[in-house]
Amino acid sequence: MISSDVCVVGAGPAGLTLSLLLLRSGLTVTLVERSALHGREFRGEILQPGGMELLDGLGVLSGAMARGGYPLDRFRLREGRRTLLDIDYRRLEAPYNQLLSIPQQHLLEELLAHCEKLPGFTYLPGHRVGSLQRHEGRTTGLTTRSPDGGTRVNAGCVVGADGRYSKVRQLAGIQAGRLEAFDFDVLWLKVPIGSTGAASGAREVSVVRSRGNPVLVYPSWPDSVQIGWTLPHRSFAGSKDAVFARAREEIVQALPQYADAVRAALESANDLTLLDVFAGCADTWVQDGLVLIGDAAHTHSPLGAQGINLAIQDAALLHPVLTAAVRGGSFAAEHLRAYETGRRPAIDAVMKFQVMQSRMMLARGGLEARLRPVVARIVGRTPIGAKITARIAYGSSPVPLRTDLFTS
Ligand SMILES: Cc1cc2nc3c(=O)[nH]c(=O)nc-3n(C[C@H](O)[C@H](O)[C@H](O)COP(=O)(O)OP(=O)(O)OC[C@H]3O[C@@H](n4cnc5c(N)ncnc54)[C@H](O)[C@@H]3O)c2cc1C
């Protein structure tokens, strides 16, 4: 049996950032992660300036970048050679006036390496949550399952940072609040183009519109481009082979510069990974002795590259609340609620903005298509556009890193 102040479930961006913040503030932390190794399936690789600034403040960003990644200047919506929308991050204040394309693994390994240097850290890789322990309606810890039998963790507070299909959320009886807010899914594939090609290609995330469905593309460290082909929501399941043939043809048409590499990398429907795109916002994020953060609390579309940013910001905002709860000796919901009430308006704003953003970028006709040139002019050329860029980069309100709470 293990005892610690806080038990975090999930070693993704949210769980690892929170663990490091709490450890640096002198708390003891047990981190439970179902994967035995850190090589995880493909997740988002685009990091916004808000997350970069927080990770830099934690001393993690330079080490993560030293493991490999590409800085990118802008997000562009293109149609043939025409630029329909240009969100240029170089308009923001340095040094966070760029996006990063960085394998999530590099961020996670660097965060973990920092946690492992600090006293009070117990890491349980290869352990899944089995059940929550409760006493008089309050969560007091959990049990894990692992190939060698699992263990019991007693903790003042359990934090569910276990992603969009959160088991902690389910065990706590909290509804996921799934919303079918988007009418598209994404089929992903990574196409090797050689490290010289990736390093010398366009320093941007692009959505390319051609005759077919819009295609997302960006350089991916060390030697590839990451490609996402959008398709109508839930249209892949029944007709994989037909959809595969169409995806291949349309990707080649939209990205002729990578035609040979795409044909070589894309041989069957098995080379494509489907992302079911949905939004979600859990009914509540706190109970007595329990908190949800990151995707477990709120899930977003990948199109605006917000998920990692928001997960890291959640951790930074929960950090002072948990530190105060440990010092005050109570993890009652009323003491944890400050995190949720402070954070929900910003998350609601991101959700609304993403729905608008995806309609603006992906719609073929209608009002959105007619408004697109107006929006493009505002975003590209006016001070309001610089404000919109800053909002996408940082969110609607600043998220402070409470280094004053650090004891090491
Ligand atoms: C294909 C794809 C592309 C994306 N693109 C982007 C992008 O470019 N930019 C961006 O910002 N966001 C993107 N996102 C979203 C982004 O990846 C997530 O928002 C972000 O990773 C959320 O972080 P998290 O720590 O909350 O959850 P996760 O990263 O999902 O981490 C959860 C962790 O919990 C562990 N876990 C799950 N269940 C259990 C269990 N029962 N017991 C123990 N451990 C468990 C998992 O193994 C995982 O390590 C993308 C997502 C996907 C799927």
pLDDT tens-digit readout, 39-53: 656 678 999 999 999
pLDDT tens-digit readout, 90-133: 999 999 999 999 999 999 999 999 999 999 999 999 999 999 99
Please state the pTM of the whole predicted model.
Answer: 0.95
Ligand 1 center–CA 212 separation, angstroms: 29
Q: 2-72+93-179+278-405, which class in CATH?
A: alpha beta
- DSSP for 310-332 reads HHHHHHHHHHHHHHHHHHHT---
pLDDT score recorded for residue 18: 98
Q: Mean pLDDT for the chain? A: 92
Burial of residue 390 (CB within 10 Å: 0-12, 13-18, 19+) is middle
pLDDT tens-digit readout, 343-371: 999 999 999 888 887 777 666 666 666 66
Residue 251 has pLDDT above 90, yes or no: yes
Domain range list for the chain: 2-72+93-179+278-405, 184-275
Residue 249 has pLDDT above 60, yes or no: yes
Ligand 1 center–CA 370 separation, angstroms: 35
Ligand 1 center–CA 377 separation, angstroms: 34
pLDDT score recorded for residue 353: 87
pLDDT score recorded for residue 390: 92
For ligand 1, what atom is nearest to the CA of residue 14? 25
Query: Do 163 and 194 form a contact (C-beta atoms < 8 A)?
Result: no
Minimum CA distance residue for ligand 1 atom 14: 44
Query: Do 217 and 208 form a contact (C-beta atoms < 8 A)?
Result: yes
Residue 372 has pLDDT above 80, yes or no: no
Residue 376 has pLDDT above 90, yes or no: no
CA-based angle 257:44:264, to the nearest 5? Answer: 35
Q: Which residues contact 309 (CB under 8 A, 6 or more apart)?
A: 47, 48, 50, 51, 395
Ligand 1 center–CA 17 separation, angstroms: 13
Pocket of ligand 1 (CB under 6 A): 9-15, 32-35, 42-46, 128-129, 161-163, 167, 188, 275, 294-296, 302, 305-309, 311
Ligand 1 center–CA 149 separation, angstroms: 26
Share of the chain above pLDDT 70, in %: 94
pLDDT score recorded for residue 358: 73
The confidence band for 383, taking pLDDT boundaries of 50, 70 and 90, is: confident
pLDDT tens-digit readout, 169-179: 999 999 999 88
